[in-house]
Structure 1
Amino acid sequence: MKTAPHFLSRTRKSLMAAAASLAIAGAIGFGITTTGTMPVLADAVHVQAPQVPSFADLVEQVSPAVVSVRVKSDVQPADDNSFQMFQGPDGLPDNPQLRRFFKQFREFGPQNDHRQHKRRDGKLRPVAQGSGFFISEDGYLVTNNHVVKEGSAYTVVLNDGKELDAKLVGTDPRTDLAVLKVEGEGRKFTYVQFADDAKVRVGDWVVAVGNPFGLGGTVTAGIVSARGRDIGAGPYDDFIQIDAPVNRGNSGGPTFNLSGQVVGINTAIFSPSGGSVGIAFDIPASTAKGVVEDLIKNGSVSRGWLGVEIQPVTKDIAESLGLPDAKGALVASTQDDSPAKAAGIVPGDVITQVAGKDVPSTKELARMIAAYSPGKSVDVTIWHDGESKQVSVDLGKMPSQAKLASNDQQSAPQSETSGSLADLGLTVTQSDDGHGLVVADVDPDSAAADRGIRAGDVITAVNSEEVNGTADVKQAMEDAAKAGRKSVLVQITRNDSNRFVALPIDKG
C-alpha cells in the first residue's frame, strides 16, 4: 500500500518538532547547550574559616572518670537539693541593680526548703542526685556535701552504665565537699588529678562534665569568667566563675582544663529560673585538694581557730585608727575562751599579719588561720592603740558552730547619759543596762545615716574606749582631733553582733 505524500510530510514535520522540543527540554533540565559541548557544573560552597578547637579527644579520655551519684534515704526532703542555687549573700557589693536582681530571684526563683519528714514505711527513697569523679584507681571519688548530706545509701553510676555501691568517707560542709569510696572488686578505675589552679586565667577554655537533670554523662564547654568570687556561701569563698552551662545534677562534677586536669568542682549556679544562665561557680582545685586529702585520711577536716568576729578595713576606718593602709581585718569582737582573747586581742584591733604574711582582707585571714592545725602557735601582728605589735596565739580547734561574742562590759562612771551628738548626726539615750548609748534618732542627711547606723543600735565604744554617756563620746572626738585625725571609730552592737563605723568629726 502506498503512503500519501501529504501524510509523510505531516509525519516528518511532527518528528522534527518533537526532536526540537526534546533538545530544548534537555538544555533546560540538565544545564547543557545545544551545541554538543560538555556540561558546566557550579562549584559547591566551601568556606576557609579558622578551625575552632575540638574537645573530643579530651572528653574521650576523662569521661570514664566522671560518674553519676544517686543518694537514697528514709528521710524525704520537701524538695530536690541536688544543686545549690546562689540566691545572693548579705555581703553583696554596694550595687543597687545587683541587689535588686538578687531580691527578685529570692522572691520568684526556686526555693530551697529543706524541711524533712521520716518515711513511715522505713524504705529508702531517692533524695538527691549529682555528679562526681574518681581521684584514685582504687575507687575514691569526690562530690559535693550538699549532694550526699541527707543520704544513708549511695550508688555510683559509671559512664558505661554499671552501678556500684559506695560508702561515705567524710564530708566538709564549710567547703561543700565530700568523699565517697567505691569497692570495685579488684577493678582499677580511670581517675583524674587536680590542676594547679594558680595558673588558671580568665578567658581560658574549660570543659564541664556531669549529670544534669539526671540525663547521664553530659559535656559542656565555656571559659573562665572570673576568679576569687565571694558568693556568701561560707567563710572560705574563693570561687572560680565559669560560663560553661551547668544545671541541677551537675553538682560535684569536675571542670577540666584542656590538659584533662580538674581546675574546679561545680557547686553553685546563679539563676533566676533554676537553669543555666551562664554563671556557675567552682570550688578551686587548690582548696579541694587539701580538704579531700584530710577527708580520706581522717574522715573530717581540722582547722585552726582564732575566735574573732572581723570586718573589712575601709579607708575611713584606717584613717580613724591612724593605720597607714586600708588593709587587714578589723576585730569586731572576740569570743569567750577563744585563743584571740587569751592572747590579748581586743575589739578595735586590726590584724595585719599572720606569721609574717600580710593580711589583705578578712576572707584571706580566715583562709590563713584555717590552713594551720589546731594547737599550732603562730605570731599575729596587730594594730593596737595606734601602733603595731606582735602577739603569739595558740590556735584552737574550730567549733562546729560559731559562738556568739560576749558583749559584757564593765560599768564606768557616768556623767551626761543622754542627749544629742549633733556633730555625728545622732540622738542617743542611756541603755537599760547602763552599758553604752542607744541610738534614738539619726539625721537622714548625716554621715551616720550614710554608713548604715539606725535607731536601736547601741554605741558601746568610740576609738576603743567605752562610752556610757554623751560626754564620753565628745571626749573621744576631742582626743581624735588633737591627734590630727578626721574621724572616730564607733563600735556598734546590733542583734548581738558587733561592727565598727568610721564617722567624720565635723558635722555630717
Structure 2
Amino acid sequence: MRQLALTLMLAVVMSVGVGYQMSAQARTSSLPDFTTIVEKSEAAVVNIRTTAKVSGNRQGPQGQDPYEMFRHFFGPDFQPPGGARPPQQGPRGRRAEPEERSVPRGVGSGFFISSDGHLLTNHHVVADATDIFVTLTDGREFKAKVIGSDQRTDVALLKIEAKGMVSLPIGDTKTLKKGQWVMAIGSPFGLESTVTSGIISALGRETGDYLPFIQTDVAVNPGNSGGPLLNLDGEVVGINAQIVSRSGGFMGISLAIPIDEAMRVADQLRASGKVTRGRIGVQIGEVSKDVAQAIGLPKAEGALVSGVEPDAPADKAGVQPGDVILKFDGKPITRWSDLPRLVGSTKPGTSAPLEVWRKGKLVNLKVSVAEIKAEKTAEAPAAPKAVETQKVVLGMTVVPVAADVQKKLRIKGGVQVTTVGAPASTAGIVEGDIILAANDTDITSPEQFAKVIDGLDSSRPVGLMVRSGDQTRWVAVSTAK
C-alpha cells in the first residue's frame, strides 16, 4: 500500500513537471522569431553618414584653439589627431586665410524602396549636409543625391547610382494594432545593421508635429533615425524618427512616421522634388467637453475655428469664426489635428465639401482648396470709443463695439469687455475681448446680451463666442448667481 502511494505521488510530480515544461515550451513558441525577417530585410537597410563644410581653422567657441589645453600638458609640439599643422603664416607674417574642409556631420539610417537605388530616410539626417554617403551591408559605399526633402514631415528621398538593390515591401498601417510585435534595423551610434524589437505602444500619437506617430518600445537611439520599422511579415510600416528621452538615449518610448504618410510625401518628392500641400486659411483649436456641451454639440470633437483669413478659401466658402468643422471631404474630424492633415494632403484646386456646426445646427459648405502659404496675421482690435450704454453681465462690464472696429474685424454687432471679474475672468475672458454670441444667439448690444443671459438656465454653463485679437474661441462660463 505504501509502495502504491509513493508510485502515485511520483506520477503526480512527473505529470506536473511535464505540464510545466509544456507550458514553458508553449510560452517560448509563442514569441516571434525575427531571424527570417532579418535575413530578408537586412540588405535593404543602409548606414548614412554626412559631412559639412567648415572653416579650416580649428577654433573654440571664443576663437581659441581647442587643443591648447593638450599643448599645456604635452608641450608646444603636440599635434592633434590627423597631424594637422598650426595655421600657416601668410605674407609679412600675417596668418593665411583658412581653407574650407569637410568634417563629419552625423550618422543615420535609411532603406531602399525600389531596386533602382531610391531610398528613404529622415529630413533631419541629411539637412544642411554637403555630402551624403550610403554604406550597404556588403561594405560598398555610394555618394547619394537628395531628390527632395520635406522638413514638415521629416521625410527625405535619396538616390544612389546603383541597380539591383534589395528593397523593402510596404505594409498597411491601417492594420496596425496596439501590442503588435515590430522590429527596427538601423545604425545606433554608428553600429551598422543593429536589430531591436518590441511592441506597438500607441497609434496616432500626437506630438504637435504634422503627422501622427506610431509609438513603440523598440530600442531606438541616435543613428537609428531614418531606419525602417518592420512588422512580422517583413513589411516596413514606419520610419523611426524620434525618441522621447530625458537623457538623450533610449528610455522606452520611440516614435515612427507611418509609412503610408511617408510614401505620399516620397511620391511627390520623386515627381517634382517638393511637396505641395493644400490650405483653406483657418486657424483652429480643440473643442473641450464644456464648450461642446454649451454649444449643443453631441460630442467633443471637430476643429474649432478661431480665425478665418480674409479672402482665403474658407472665407469665400462662408466659414465663420466659432464654427466647428466636423467633416472635410466626407472624412470625419475626430481630433482638431486631423483637419490640417486632411487639407494638407488634398491637391490644390480640389473642391471639397465641409460640414460645420454653427449655433446648434449642421451647415454644409463647399471649399476650393488652395496651395499652402504663410498665414497672414491680423491686427488686434482697436480700443472701444466712448459709448453711451454699458451693462455688467457675468461679472464683466460690456459696451457696444465701435462701427470702425466692426468693419476692420469684419464682424457684426457684439459687445466689448472694458472691465472683468468672476465668473467671466475665471473662464479666461480679459479686458478688450469681444463677445459675439451666447450659445446659439448672436449678441448685438449690451442690453440684449444681459437679457439673453438672464433667460438662460443657471444650472448649465453658457458658451460665449469670444474674439481676442485675431483669434475667436468658445468659452464656457458659469451663469450661477
In structure 2, the residue corresponding to 1:206 is in which secondary structure?
Answer: strand
Alpha-carbon offset, residue 156 of structure 1: 0.8
1:53 maps onto 2:26 in alignment: no
For 1:346 and 1:144, how far apart are their aligned partners in 2? 38
The residue aligned with 2:257 is 283
The residue aligned with 1:487 is 462
For 2:233 and 2:418, how far apart are their aligned partners in 1? 59
Alignment of 1:33-48 (within 5 A): none
For 1:344 and 1:415, how far apart are their aligned partners in 2? 33
1:353 maps onto 2:327 in alignment: yes
The residue aligned with 1:397 is 371
* Cα offsets for 1:355-383 (capped at 9, x unmatched): 33332221222222223100101111222
The residue aligned with 2:242 is 268
1:461 maps onto 2:441 in alignment: no
1:258 counterpart (199, 219, 232): 232
For 1:61, give the aligned amino acid: K
The residue aligned with 2:291 is 317
In structure 1, the residue corresponding to 2:271 is in which secondary structure?
Answer: helix
Alignment of 1:293-304 (within 5 A): 293-304=267-278
For 1:488, give the aligned amino acid: G
Computing the radius of gyration from Cα coordinates, the structure with the larger value is 1
Alpha-carbon offset, residue 264 of structure 1: 0.9
* Cα offsets for 1:447-478 (capped at 9, x unmatched): 753x5x16567345334888798656535534
1:214 maps onto 2:201 in alignment: no
For 1:320 and 1:180, how far apart are their aligned partners in 2? 51
For 1:75 and 1:485, how far apart are their aligned partners in 2? 64
The residue aligned with 2:94 is none
2:318 counterpart (344, 360, 365): 344
1:152 counterpart (130, 133, 158): 130
In structure 1, the residue corresponding to 2:133 is in which secondary structure?
Answer: strand
Alignment of 1:23-38 (within 5 A): none
Question: Is the 1:414–1:469 Cα contact (8 Å) retained in structure 2?
Answer: no
For 2:433, give the aligned amino acid: V
Scaled by the length of structure 1, what TM-score is found? 0.72
For 1:219, give the aligned amino acid: V
Question: Is the 1:335–1:406 Cα contact (8 Å) retained in structure 2?
Answer: no
1:233 counterpart (209, 212, 223): 209
Alpha-carbon offset, residue 256 of structure 1: 0.5
Alpha-carbon offset, residue 320 of structure 1: 2.7
For 1:497 and 1:120, how far apart are their aligned partners in 2? 52
For 1:55, give the aligned amino acid: F
Aligned pair count reads 407
2:158 counterpart (180, 188, 197): 180
In structure 2, the residue corresponding to 1:388 is in which secondary structure?
Answer: strand
For 2:313, give the aligned amino acid: P
Alignment of 1:87-236 (within 5 A): 121-184=99-162, 187-234=163-210
Question: Is the 2:384–2:416 Cα contact (8 Å) retained in structure 1?
Answer: no
For 1:371 and 1:497, how far apart are their aligned partners in 2? 25
Between the aligned residues of both structures, percent identity stands at: 37
- CA distance 1:209–1:472, shift in 2 (3 Å): farther
1:67 counterpart (46, 49, 57): 46
Alpha-carbon offset, residue 166 of structure 1: 0.5
Gap runs ≥5 in structure 2: 1-19, 56-96, 407-414
- CA distance 1:447–1:265, shift in 2 (3 Å): farther
Alpha-carbon offset, residue 492 of structure 1: 4.6
For 2:437, give the aligned amino acid: V
- CA distance 1:311–1:476, shift in 2 (3 Å): farther
The residue aligned with 1:29 is none
User: For the aligned residues, what is the CA RMSD?
Assistant: 3.4
* Cα offsets for 1:202-240 (capped at 9, x unmatched): 111111111111222211111111111001123xx3111
- CA distance 1:413–1:427, shift in 2 (3 Å): closer
1:477 counterpart (453, 457, 468): 453
For 2:128, give the aligned amino acid: E
For 1:121 and 1:373, how far apart are their aligned partners in 2? 46
- CA distance 1:482–1:244, shift in 2 (3 Å): closer
Question: Is the 1:437–1:467 Cα contact (8 Å) retained in structure 2?
Answer: no
Alpha-carbon offset, residue 505 of structure 1: 2.5
In structure 1, the residue corresponding to 2:339 is in which secondary structure?
Answer: helix
In structure 2, the residue corresponding to 1:245 is in which secondary structure?
Answer: coil
- CA distance 1:420–1:129, shift in 2 (3 Å): farther
The residue aligned with 1:366 is 340
Alpha-carbon offset, residue 430 of structure 1: 9.6
For 2:371, give the aligned amino acid: K
Question: Is the 1:253–1:265 Cα contact (8 Å) retained in structure 2?
Answer: yes
1:329 maps onto 2:303 in alignment: yes
In structure 1, the residue corresponding to 2:144 is in which secondary structure?
Answer: strand
Alpha-carbon offset, residue 188 of structure 1: 1.2
- CA distance 1:448–1:363, shift in 2 (3 Å): same
For 2:134 and 2:418, how far apart are their aligned partners in 1? 58
In structure 2, the residue corresponding to 1:506 is in which secondary structure?
Answer: coil
Alpha-carbon offset, residue 403 of structure 1: 3.0
- CA distance 1:287–1:230, shift in 2 (3 Å): same
The residue aligned with 1:39 is none
For 1:286, give the aligned amino acid: D
For 1:461, give the aligned amino acid: L
For 2:250 and 2:154, how far apart are their aligned partners in 1? 20
- CA distance 1:352–1:224, shift in 2 (3 Å): same
For 1:308, give the aligned amino acid: V
Question: Is the 2:301–2:336 Cα contact (8 Å) retained in structure 1?
Answer: no
Scaled by the length of structure 2, what TM-score is found? 0.75
